[in-house]
Amino acid sequence: MSHAIKLFRHPLSGHAHRVELMLSLLGLPTEAVFVDLAKGAHKHPEFLAMNPFGQVPVIDDNGTVLSDSNAILVYLAKQYDSSGRWLPDEPVAAARVQRWLSVAAGPLASGPARARLITVFAAPYDAEATIASSHALLGVIDQELAGSPFLAGNAPTIADVAGYSYIAHAPEGNVSLDDYPNVRAWLARIEALPGFVPMPRSAVGLQTA
């Protein structure tokens, strides 16, 4: 592969970090393009032409333009992982991965991701309810991880990439990970993968440094 994949992102977006992490885990050349969310760059016509929803991330892979972090993860796994490790073809294994992509787009987005939006971006959500739903979700995930090292089985998949960013940064939204030893061990396993790249931490909520 001779070209770099353009990644339109904001460094504090967990959705964008999912894609940045996947690109790095696959060892793909990447050109990061900063999208200034504070100045509304994601609502400018040229950006909306790439993603009418006006959200990061977007990738441009040599003219193939895609948006939605989970959709991009699927594309990258299908296009660049010949081993099939990151997104298995076997029906049950594929379904297990899809289940966690749905969790990432549902309860994870409305729980830990939203809790972080309140503290990092001053988003006007109900903090108490959001934190409560975050703990309910983390309790289920911790229980599931008692039986396997990764979300969808014994090897990492795009399910783990989709889940990592907002769970790792949950403390920034005042969601403690102290009661979830299996979750913390899983985060450490992701961070030990060759090619792992972190997302910058914000010193807000329970995250002090």
DSSP secondary structure of 117-159? HHHHS---S-HHHHHHHHHHHHHHHHHHTTS-SBTTBSS--HH
Buried b (16+ CB within 10 A) or exposed e, 8-21: bbbebbbbbbbbbb
Per-residue model confidence (pLDDT) at position 207: 81
- Residues whose CB is less than 8 angstroms from the CB of residue 149 and which lie 6 or more positions away in sequence, other chains included: 186, 189
| Same-domain status, 153 and 172 | yes
List the CATH number of the domain containing 185.
Answer: 1.20.1050.10
Per-residue model confidence (pLDDT) at position 203: 83
Task: Yes or no: say if 88 and 94 are a contact pair by the CB < 8 Å rule.
Answer: yes
Give the total number of structural domains in the chain.
Answer: 2
Asked if residue 20 belongs to a domain, the reply is yes
Asked if residue 86 belongs to a domain, the reply is no
Asked if residue 200 belongs to a domain, the reply is no
Of 52, 80, 108, the last residue of a domain is 80
| Same-domain status, 62 and 142 | no
List the CATH number of the domain containing 29.
Answer: 3.40.30.10
| Same-domain status, 179 and 158 | yes
Asked if residue 168 belongs to a domain, the reply is yes
pLDDT in tens, the chain (209 residues): 779 999 999 999 999 999 999 999 999 999 999 999 888 889 999 999 999 999 999 999 999 999 999 999 999 999 999 999 999 999 999 999 999 999 999 999 999 999 999 998 888 999 999 999 999 999 999 999 999 999 999 999 999 999 999 999 999 999 999 999 999 999 999 999 999 999 998 888 888 65
Which structural domain range is residue 122 located in? 91-191
For residues 35 and 121, give the distance between their C-alpha atoms in angstroms, rounded to a whole number: 15
